[in-house]
Structure 1
């Protein structure tokens, strides 16, 4: 069996973990989530979710990965061979995310180039859906491959390949140490100039003005917990893989807290960056901020380019914003790819170079479907089902398994052994009650919503082909892969004492 790599430094691990957690969602999802859910009042349930669920779950995953020294499948197989499938479910979720997430990074790369000349023109919406995407009328009609998106996708995959191929210390850690400081510098420069724009203060007022009545709304709390789960990269193998490279004496609890706090802090400064621009845009167009506020792809590739056209220094703002998107996207992309690569290394006992080559080549081939005219529609459905069911199901089963069927007190002793900050019964109770309850509520809400009516108004054929069937593929693949024995079978069952109910 190959000797497991380790991080070169604690800073390197923190930067990599933060790089995984900080992604496009922090920039384009969190600000609108705050705006829609009570403004500044939303920060109350958000911080409660962070303390009651985010940090406990992060400590759990850091502890599991560091204790069992393996990817998600290997970690669960080390506890019980019967639970290995759960790890492969999480690996499949991460793999599929890489195949479309990389295409969004490719869009950002293209727009980074376009930002030097505002190449999206005077009608960014028409340009994005028409000339750039060549959008078709249905996800069942993929149309032709868009050459500029294909080329940028290939470049993003190649960069990811180099980072993962060269190893944990030489590749992932080195990139993270450059990318994370760079990302914060870009955002702070943008904010420094953006706050001087007329109307910026009004934008921030719209964002942070508290509506405390929203706290009584259950959906607001569900959104707060959902944002925490999705933005921290927990529940689908990333943190298990990253923490498996930690040395034995690592401060698990402190590392987890730092990762969560930095991620959440970045989300807040992203809100300031986005809404300062939206405030300026609203003033220039003589409309309220509510008419220009948005989230997701529309915010990044339609609303912000429209705002950049109105700015006194469009090249400055455009380059900063899209470079920040590219950096945030690539850091998360690397971590998603590492989930699958580390799982393959553990399972087949092959070299990192071989595993990285297989995964990146396969991932690139699947990604081509998302570079077509129907790619955005296909991406929309797949992303919806992966986030609302794939990630939540994996996280929910993981927390039930570890907190209720395994010796959670043994894990608590393990994480406390080398940590300055000690966790007690509150940590255990949070993992046993609060986290599974909130994940369960979100799952039920999502299931009821999707059964009631098709997501996005898509056809039954499209929803079945690219939505529900995807979950069946996850399960079938997970069960199939878990049947194959590990090349180094000595890991199996050696931690049976950790499983309370066998």
Structure 2
């Protein structure tokens, strides 16, 4: 692998790169997914499978992607073709998953903006039952329990649930009843895209400046909410519930599966984002040290967020006299139903709700604009001569933003939540990422050679990392990823919205097509290369395998 010498925008300061990656990997999954998984899967013992997957998959893949981008100074598509043209499809698979993530993730930002604006109301609309959209079954928290899981129990529903279902989503009966667009939500979606555009319209130069504010403010808000949560009655019970160990859960394969999925979900692996961002580093940057610090920061934030969430849920359970497992929730249900309802019980709820959704928006924005920046960098690297002209990249970003907004409009319609969950479940799931990760490890660990890649890293950072990472690339990570991928297919459960609504057959077929579109570029690319190569399959394979060639040059096909 040769060091590339060419003009490329670089981060003005090391801190800009570090904060950008931190903002990209520290996202909503740290707040709404990890704490719930920890409580659901045995409390403190969940950290055992979590740390196992972190050490054998998370850190090795994180380092692989960042070192690759820094060494070649190109985005994922070009990087993988340079390393081995036979595996060039990996880069395209990365970008497709990143695209799906970008058009769906921003919907969460639109919801968050909608809640933020309503938090400025004199009386929070999700705390009362006197709104025009409320039904006769709506009961305020001091008159009944809060029933979560987005369902009705004993013919009673919470105002927070009705605000979500009937005001935010205005949900229809199914995906085949798309209905009309909620234009208030559409305006919030437009606002999210406008902010995203101006955050990255100058590339890393503008994105690097934005993260100073966004990342810092995220941690300020998280600490404020944590301190407030810890001072509430019932907080101690919530934290005990969060961490109480159940060692017997370690025998459940599903616990290990969810731990592995969480690592891929929260570390932005196999999306090409890490490769694209590190491609703007100086060649001599110590990417190994960055990897260790960023992984510690990300997992530490997840753990800290658990205290913030469960201290508040403990207070909520205390106020209503119900067990914590009746208020614990994951995903959008936590951020947009349970947490706002819990905050509405506090003094000055408008202030704490405003802090919550400012934090949610900043968490989402960092991840969103870096995902879009990844696509912009890939486009610029694929067509360097076209984008050399001033203003063309900004124009392409504008077109992409408009396209993303238009594609997102169906997801803010009455049946939009069904489309959103379909994309999230099938395109951005751990299953697709596990398949891509397996190819990445095989390419670097076996085809290019882990020792050769270590030589490249030594040339960059001046030393060789410990051998454990190398063994992970070669053996542990691909075996674990392939095994977990197979288990996820065997244990496959069709998507259900709210655990009740079953999609029509064409909906599941569409979901699988979306999923296949994320991973099919890799085998298709290999087939394309084999068909174009001259000679028999054995001869072509022989020319591709450079195991005896120890020179640090790209592995290439004579095509």
1:411 match: 453
The answer as to 2:508 corresponding to 1:463 is: yes
CA–CA distance in structure 2, aligned partners of residues 348 and 483 of structure 1: 21
2:126 paired residue among 103, 107, 120: 120
Deviation at 1:477, TM superposition (A): 7.1
> What is the CA-CA distance between 1:119 and the residue it aligns to?
2.4
Give the structure 2 partner of residue 366 of structure 1.
407
Q: Does 1:108 align with 2:112?
A: yes
Q: 1:195 aligned to 2:230?
A: yes
Q: 2: distance between equivalents of 1:284 and 1:175?
A: 40
- Which residue number in structure 2 is paired with residue 334 of structure 1? 369
SS in 2 for 1:8: coil
Q: For 1:311-330, list aligned pairs within 5 A.
A: 311-330=346-365
**2:65 aligns with one of 61, 64, 89:** 61
The counterpart of 1:157, out of the listed 160, 185, 193, is 193
Q: Which moved more, 1:183-192 or 1:356-365?
A: 356-365
- For 2:438 and 2:180, locate their aligned partners in 1 and report how far apart those are by CA, in whole Å: 39
Structure 2 partner of 1:21: 25
Task: Quickly say closer, same or farther: Cα 1:222–1:472, change in 2 above 3 A.
Answer: closer
Aligned 1:188-337 pairs, distance under 5 A: 188-337=223-372
1:437 counterpart residue number: 479
In the TM superposition, what whole-angstrom CA distance separates every residue of 1:264-315 from its partner, at most 9, and x where no partner exists? 1111111111101100000001011111101001111111121122112311
Contact kept, 8 Å, 1:254 with 1:420, in 2: the verdict is no
User: How many pairs are equivalent?
Assistant: 489
Q: State the Cα deviation string for residues 237-286 of structure 1 (Å, max 9, x = none).
A: 11010111110110010011111111111111111111011000000010
Q: Deviations over 1:124-169 (max 9, x none)?
A: 1111111221111112221111112111111111111112211202
Seen in structure 2, the aligned counterparts of structure 1 residues 453 and 298 have a Cα distance that, compared at 3 Å, is closer
TM-score by length of 1: 0.92
Do the aligned partners of residues 412 and 455 (structure 1) sit closer, same or farther apart at CA in structure 2, a change above 3 Å counting?
farther
**1:418-472 Cα shifts (integer Å, max 9, x gaps):** 447742321111122222222223322322233x65555322111112x111134
- What's the TM-score once normalised by structure 2's chain length? 0.83
The one-character-per-residue Cα deviations of 1:366-398 (angstroms, maximum 9, x if unpaired) are 111211111111111111011143333222222
Give the Cα separation in 2 of the matches to 1:317 and 1:454: 34
RMSD: 2.4
Q: 1:147 to 1:2 in 2, by over 3 A?
A: farther
Q: Does 1:36 align with 2:80?
A: no
Does the 8 Å CA contact 2:26/2:266 hold for their aligned counterparts? yes
Aligned counterpart, 1:490: none
Alignment match of 2:75 (pick from 54, 57, 71): 71
Q: Distance in 2 between matches of 1:202 and 1:473?
A: 45
Aligned to 2:555: 499
Q: Distance in 1 between matches of 2:456 and 2:116?
A: 46
Query: Which consecutive unaligned segments of at least 5 residues does structure 2 have?
Result: 129-158, 530-543, 545-550
Query: Aligned pair in 2 of structure 1 residues 421, 312: CA closer, same or farther (>3 Å)?
Result: farther
The answer (yes or no) to whether the contact 1:406–1:501 under 8 Å persists in 2 is no
Could you tell which deviates more after superposition, 394-403 or 105-114? 394-403
CA distance in 2, matches of 1:382, 1:153: 17
After superposition, residues 416-427 of structure 1 pair within 5 angstroms as 416-419=458-461, 422-427=464-469
In 2, distance between residues paired with 1:374 and 1:255? 43
List aligned pairs for 1:76-155, cutoff 5 A. Answer: 76-117=80-121, 118-122=124-128, 123-155=159-191
1:428 has 2:459 as partner: no
Q: Indicate conservation of the 8 Å contact 2:109/2:364, yes or no.
A: yes
Question: In the superposition, relative to structure 1, how do residues 377 and 285 fare at CA in structure 2: closer, same or farther (>3 Å)?
Answer: same
Contact 1:6–1:245, Cα closer than 8 Å, also in 2: yes
8 A Cα contact 1:454 1:460, kept in partner? no
C-alpha deviation, 1:403, in angstroms: 1.7
Q: Distance in 2 between matches of 1:263 and 1:355?
A: 32
Residue 352 in structure 1 maps to residue 358 in structure 2: no
Q: Distance in 2 between matches of 1:419 and 1:199?
A: 49
2:491 counterpart SS class: helix
State how far apart, in whole Å, the 2-side matches of 1:416 and 1:210 are. 42
Answer whether contact 2:114 2:188 (CA < 8 A) is retained: yes
Take 2:553 and 2:418, find their aligned partners in 1: how far apart are those partners? 47
Q: Which moved more, 1:83-92 or 1:246-255?
A: 83-92
